[in-house]
């Protein structure tokens, strides 16, 4: 990769990757000042001002950089064509993006092994997607399901009920790991130029074959918990599938939730909590599940356990830690469930823990969107401050705004607690 591209990418990561808000330092008139780049960063080059979209504001800023009124070093996404210079060619390319002229755009592709600067054909008229619930619930909330021609079969037993829009379209392969290149080629001929998937390296092992066939593979952090990371995923999918304004509304919703939550519990003593992503696994502090528990206002009771991977095998070692809450996640869809059966099966490994005996072991529906998941966790741990209905109220509001007519609150089960003996 060109050294200039590496330098610019490093600047992008400095601005976006390690911050909880999109704030950068800028020099104006010889004085340093804080410049709010907007909450949801769209990591596409040409998005000069770093907000949720590419529009006329970026053209104005590019012209200011070209004239010398602004410094390009302060705007790491401004170099639309990534040639190291900010000039009329960048303005022309951004105008092409705004006018949806056929071509390619350069963006930062999310990947658990790091990030890479790649291109994607734009505009995208049709696409494909892998079947992870986090991604497809995001697509559903953006109201762009009609742009997805095909997905692979969902691993969850609730997939068909949760995503009826993909009935008859789930033939890209048996799972998200090995997307069928031959099937993808068929949809490519029908206009699906991109496959959208999650950032995990476990997804789409056939990426090189798909790219060789001319199919772009775009990875987004659909399961991310930090609002900035989730916003980047939402805005990227919105940009590709023509859902930009709805993406802005979704990211603003999560931003407000985080701000309100932080303000209300800032002086509260944090409880100790731990997460379990699957039946016999405990989530490491670096996992998305642990991040959700922490963001909801807790300390992580096992701390940094060390090792690699997102999970740790359950064992008696867990007895050595003090847990005020244990949250076990399980995909339960948005339909009727046998609550006692689901709870007992999911928590069977934890019956010897005090947290289970005390009634503070909860099962959380892993199919709900990440922001709503955080709201439920916070509502359980801080119900004295937030109120017992905090999670339900957030869920209803999110559902009304982004799933109206698609999902009904009354149909779902979102939290399971220990049945009364």
CA distance 163 to 178: 20
- Asked if residue 106 belongs to a domain, the reply is no
**80 and 180 belong to one structural domain:** no
- Asked if residue 116 belongs to a domain, the reply is no
What pLDDT is recorded for position 12? 40
What pLDDT is recorded for position 23? 33
Q: How many other CB atoms sit within 10 Å of the CB of residue 228?
A: 22
How large is the average pLDDT for residues 392-406?
97
**336 and 201 belong to one structural domain:** no
* Mean pLDDT of all residues belonging to the chain: 88
Q: Does the pLDDT of residue 292 top 90, yes or no?
A: yes
pLDDT class for 29, splitting at 50, 70, 90? very low
CA distance 399 to 406: 9
Q: Does the pLDDT of residue 2 top 60, yes or no?
A: no
How large is the average pLDDT for residues 142-149?
97
- Asked if residue 421 belongs to a domain, the reply is no
- From 70, 101, 132, give the residue that closes a domain: 101
Q: Does the pLDDT of residue 230 top 80, yes or no?
A: yes
Encoding tokens for residue 106?
A: 């350069």
What pLDDT is recorded for position 114? 66
Q: Does the pLDDT of residue 37 top 50, yes or no?
A: no
- Asked if residue 391 belongs to a domain, the reply is yes
**339 and 412 belong to one structural domain:** yes
Give the CATH number, domain containing residue 207: 3.40.50.1980
CA distance 60 to 58: 5
The pairing of beta strand 299-300 with beta strand 272-276 = parallel
Q: Does the pLDDT of residue 351 top 50, yes or no?
A: yes
**284 and 407 belong to one structural domain:** yes
| Residue 399, H or E segment | helix 390-402
Q: What is the 3-state secondary structure (H, E, C) of 29-54?
A: CCEEEEEECCCCCCCECCCCCCCCCC
Residues 6+ apart with CB under 8 A from 30: none
- Asked if residue 300 belongs to a domain, the reply is yes
**377 and 274 belong to one structural domain:** yes
Domain span including residue 407: 268-416
- From 202, 220, 252, give the residue that closes a domain: 252
**237 and 336 belong to one structural domain:** no
- Asked if residue 294 belongs to a domain, the reply is yes
Q: Does the pLDDT of residue 19 top 70, yes or no?
A: no
- Asked if residue 112 belongs to a domain, the reply is no
**393 and 324 belong to one structural domain:** yes
**340 and 409 belong to one structural domain:** yes
**224 and 279 belong to one structural domain:** no
How far from the centroid of its chain's Cα atoms is residue 239's Cα?
14
What pLDDT is recorded for position 223? 95
**238 and 296 belong to one structural domain:** no
The total number of structural domains in the chain stands at: 3
- Asked if residue 311 belongs to a domain, the reply is yes
**411 and 279 belong to one structural domain:** yes
CA distance 132 to 135: 6
What pLDDT is recorded for position 339? 95
**94 and 142 belong to one structural domain:** no
What pLDDT is recorded for position 398? 98
pLDDT class for 159, splitting at 50, 70, 90? confident
Q: How many other CB atoms sit within 10 Å of the CB of residue 158?
A: 18
Q: How many other CB atoms sit within 10 Å of the CB of residue 85?
A: 13
């Amino acid at each position: 990769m060109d050294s200039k591209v590496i330098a610019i990418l490093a600047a992008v990561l400095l601005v976006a990757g390690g911050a909880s808000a999109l704030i950068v330092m800028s020099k104006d008139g010889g004085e340093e000042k804080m410049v709010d780049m907007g909450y949801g960063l769209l990591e596409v080059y040409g998005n000069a001002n770093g907000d949720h979209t590419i529009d006329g504001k970026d053209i104005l800023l590019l012209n200011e950089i070209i004239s010398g009124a602004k410094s390009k070093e302060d705007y790491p996404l401004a170099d639309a064509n990534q040639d190291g210079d900010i000039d009329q060619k960048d303005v022309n390319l951004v105008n092409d993006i705004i006018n949806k002229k056929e071509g390619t755009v350069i963006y930062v592709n999310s990947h658990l092994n790091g990030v890479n600067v790649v291109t994607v054909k734009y505009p995208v008229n049709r696409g494909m997607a892998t079947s992870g619930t986090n991604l497809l619930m995001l697509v559903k909330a953006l109201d762009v399901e009609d742009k997805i021609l095909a997905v692979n079969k969902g691993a969850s037993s609730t997939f068909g009920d949760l995503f009826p829009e993909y009935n008859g379209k789930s033939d890209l392969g048996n799972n998200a790991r090995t997307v069928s290149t031959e099937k993808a080629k068929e949809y490519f001929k029908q206009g699906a130029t991109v496959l959208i998937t999650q950032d995990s390296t476990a997804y789409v092992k056939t990426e090189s074959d798909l790219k060789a066939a001319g199919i772009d593979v775009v990875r987004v952090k659909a399961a991310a918990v930090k609002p900035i990371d989730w916003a980047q995923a939402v805005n990227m999918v919105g940009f590709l599938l023509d859902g930009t304004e709805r993406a802005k509304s979704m990211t603003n919703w999560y931003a407000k939730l985080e701000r309100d939550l932080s303000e209300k519990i800032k002086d509260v003593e944090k409880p100790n909590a731990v997460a379990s992503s699957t039946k016999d696994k405990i989530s490491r502090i670096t996992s998305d599940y642990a991040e959700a528990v922490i963001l909801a206002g807790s300390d992580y009771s096992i701390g940094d356990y060390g090792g690699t991977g997102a999970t740790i095998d359950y064992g008696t070692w867990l007895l050595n830690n003090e847990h005020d809450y244990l949250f076990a996640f399980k995909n339960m869809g948005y339909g009727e469930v046998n609550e006692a059966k689901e709870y007992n099966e999911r928590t069977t490994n934890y019956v010897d823990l005090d947290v289970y005996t005390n009634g503070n072991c909860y099962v959380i529906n892993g199919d709900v969107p990440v922001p709503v998941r955080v709201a439920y966790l916070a509502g359980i741990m801080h119900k004295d401050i937030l109120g017992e209905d905090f999670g339900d109220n957030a869920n209803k509001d999110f559902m009304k705004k982004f799933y109206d007519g698609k999902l009904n609150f009354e149909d779902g089960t979102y939290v399971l607690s220990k049945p009364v003996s």
